[in-house]
Amino acid sequence: MKLHEYQARDLLAKYGIPVTRGGVAVTPGEARAVAESIGGPVVVKAQVFVGGRGKAGGVKLADTPEQAEQVASQILGMSIKGLTVEKVLVAEAISYTKEIYLSAILDRAAKRVTMIASAEGGVEIEEVARTNPDAIIKISAHPHLGLLDFQARELAFGIGLTDGKQARQFAQIASALYRVFVESDASLAEINPLVIRADGSLQALDSKVLLDDSALFRHPDLAALRDSSDEPEAELRAREADLTYIKLDGTIGCMVNGAGLAMATMDVVKLYGGEPANFLDIGGGAGKEKVKAALQIILADPNVKAVMFNIFGGITRVDEVARGIVAALEEVQTDVPMVARLTGTNEEEGRRILAASRLIPAATLAEAAEKAVAAARGA
C-alpha cells in the first residue's frame, strides 16, 4: 500500500524527523488558507502515485497565498500519466545547499533491514546505482538490536558529513526512519531529498512510504489512509472480495486455492505452451459468492480465452467447492470454455456434481493445463 507524500510526511513527523510545514488541500481556497498559515513562499505539489510530477506541471512555486490559490486551481483536476489530481500538498518553500538520499528497505538477500544513503540525492537511487555506484552507502541493521548508533554515524561519515553536529542529526534521522520502517511494517521508507539548509541543519523535503499489505491488519490507522485511485479496478474488486489477484498478459484465466499451487499452476500452463492471464488465489474457502466474484474478475479481462480451475481440497472439501462453482456459473453468463481439476477430500462427490455442468473435467494438473491451452487456442 502506497502513502501519499503528505501522509508519509505526517508519519515521519511523528517520529521526530524534521519535515516542512504545510498541509493538504482539495480546493484552491484551501490551498490559499494553508499558504496564509505558513506565511511565506510555498510549493504546491500534486498528490498522485506517479513520478515525474514536476515535469508534468504538477509542482509549482508560489510567493503569495493568492499565487498559491492560482497554481492550485491549475494543478487540481489535471491528469498526470492517466491519474487525476484530487489533492495538493502546500508546503513551505525552503532554500538549501545540498541534497542527500536516505532510505530503509528490506534486503532479502541479507535477510535484514538495510539503510541506504547517498550524497547524491534528489534523483532516483536506481540512476545513482547505475552511473556512480560508489556514491551509495549500505548498512544492515542488527536483526534483534536494530540500527545501532555507530552504524547511523557510519552512514553519515560515509556520505561526507564530517561536521559533528550535522552527523549527529543525520544519525538521529536515520534511526528514526528505521523505526518508521519497522514499526509501520513498511517495505520502503525513503527521504529523497534530505536537504542541508544554509544553517547546516537537515530537513526532509520529500518522502515516500510503502506499507506491507499483509501487515495492515495490525495498523488500522494506516490502513484507513489507503487511496485506491491508482489501483486497477480488478485488483480493487479482488481485495474487497478477500481474493489475491494480479493481472498478467496471457489468455488462460486461473482460479486456484493457495499461493504455492497458483504459482505451480501458472508454471504448468506455460509448460504446455499457454500463457496465464492472472494469478488468483481464492484462499481456503471457495463458496458461491467468492467463486462468483473471482469468475467475474477473471472474465472482465477481454484477453481471457479459457478458464482453468485447479482446486486442492484439504481443509476445504471438494464437494463444497464444486457446489460453489456450479452455483456461480448459474449467475455468471459466459461462453468462455472452462476446465476443472479438483482433487482432495470428497473429490468423487465433487466430480459427480461437476459432471452435470458444462465444465471440461481433468484428473491431473497436467491434463487440465493441456486442455485449457487447447480450449484457449480453439476459442
Q: Do the beta carbons of residue 58 and residue 46 sit within 8 Å? A: yes
Q: Is 101 a known active-site residue?
A: yes
C-alpha–C-alpha distance, residues 4 and 223, integer Å:
13
Rg (CA), the chain: 26
Angle at which helix 233-240 crosses helix 288-299, to 10 degrees, equals: 180
C-alpha–C-alpha distance, residues 329 and 322, integer Å:
11
C-alpha–C-alpha distance, residues 238 and 231, integer Å:
11
Pinpoint the alpha helices (H) of the chain. Answer: 5-14, 28-38, 65-75, 125-131, 149-158, 164-183, 220-223, 233-240, 259-271, 288-299, 318-331, 347-355, 365-378
Q: Which of 190, 320, 347, 370 is catalytic?
A: 190
Show the cell assigned to 115.
539503510
Report residue 245: phi and psi, to 5°. -135, 135
Q: Is 235 a known active-site residue?
A: no
Q: Which of 101, 178, 347, 370 is catalytic?
A: 101
β-sheet bridge partners, residue 306: 252
CA 188 to each of CA 17, 82, 196, 289, 297: distance values in angstroms, whole numbers, following the listed order = 16, 24, 23, 35, 29
| Residues marked as catalytic | 101, 190
